[in-house]
Amino acid sequence: MYPLIKKYLFRLDPEDVHHKTVALLKLAEKMGRGGLLEKMYGSADSRLASTVMGIHFPNPVGLAAGFDKNAEVYRGLAALGFGFVEVGTITPKAQPGNDRPRLFRLVEDKAVINRMGFNNEGAERVKDNLQDFENAHVPIGINIGKNKVTPNEDAADDYETCLEVLYPYGHYFVINVSSPNTPNLRDLQETDSLRQLIAAIQDKKCDLEHKGALEKPIMLKVAPDMADEQMSDIIRLAKEQGLSGIIATNTTLSREGLRNQSVSGEAGGLSGLPLKDRSTAWIKEIYQETGDKLPIIGVGGIFTGDDAYEKIRAGASLIQVYTGMIYEGPAIAKNINTRLLELMDRDGISHISEAVGADAK
């Protein structure tokens, strides 16, 4: 039914549609409809389950950060068949983000431009929402960033604050320094700045664990708009600093090859199909530099099981969708997982882990 519903939804403002979707998921949770959603959209199969960074993932298809910014509906999203859900990006203090309109569909390109600007209700409020995170029954990732008004020289304080407040309430954490929608944030990807930031975050992590907290993996989300040398420096630094994995990639500033002429000039990060090949290339390069020593979550332009399989064979242990869900609807995780099993049967693969990096080795 989604193609029919989508025709109506795509006549509405995309951010309004997002809020309506969150409201419906909240209602489903309140009415106890999670079990019904699981029956409709679940796709449990042990061949797709894996342990990555010491965490059990029931399937490799996750929902990327940006949808559930305040950790309001992660249980409902898990019921849609996702193997994990990443909430955020979360900053220490609440902030409204950039002015609307700030979300644009490029239907001809199966893409979205967003310049949301880390709009969220702040770490303390999100902590309250995450009290029940274990009952999602899938891993919950927490994506953290800095407030817009915080200068880069003080950015580490913001990331440390988020980590301290939220550390007990998620399964893994993501350092987001790659969004293009917070002024100067990407400057933190410069090697010396990033080294200082990661070191401060790792010190805070060690301090929390010394005080009795369970150890949690910390990942780094990288931008696609980097030269090979800069990406190599970042990967080397991630290994040196003991990070647990890489998410590749965030949205792009590039507008190359777009068919849409009405909103393609809007400022913000571009996601969706135009990012697919670029993110896959980075996944393959990162995998070739790290092998299986630094797990990769692949993001960018995933709409189908074939897209996901390509990312996995390039080196991604897990994948995430967001724009794909806008265009394909709530059954996207189930459809991808079903197709992954078909592709595995075609290739004589008995477990999804056998496909990881197959095209990059």
Amino acid letter, 333: A
Beta strands in the chain (DSSP E): 50-52, 55-57, 61-63, 84-90, 103-106, 111-114, 140-144, 172-176, 218-222, 245-248, 269-272, 296-299, 318-321
* H helix count then E strand count, the chain: 12, 13
Residues with Cβ < 8 Å from 74, sequence gap 6 or more? 68, 85, 87, 130, 133, 136, 140
Q: Which two tokens stand for residue 218?
A: 């910390």
Beta bridge partners of 248: 222, 298
> Of the residues 43, 50, 179, 271, which is catalytic?
179
Q: Which of 43, 58, 126, 115 is CA-nearest to residue 88?
A: 126
Number of CB atoms found within 10 A of residue 41's CB: 18
Catalytic residue status for 279: no
Active site residues: 179
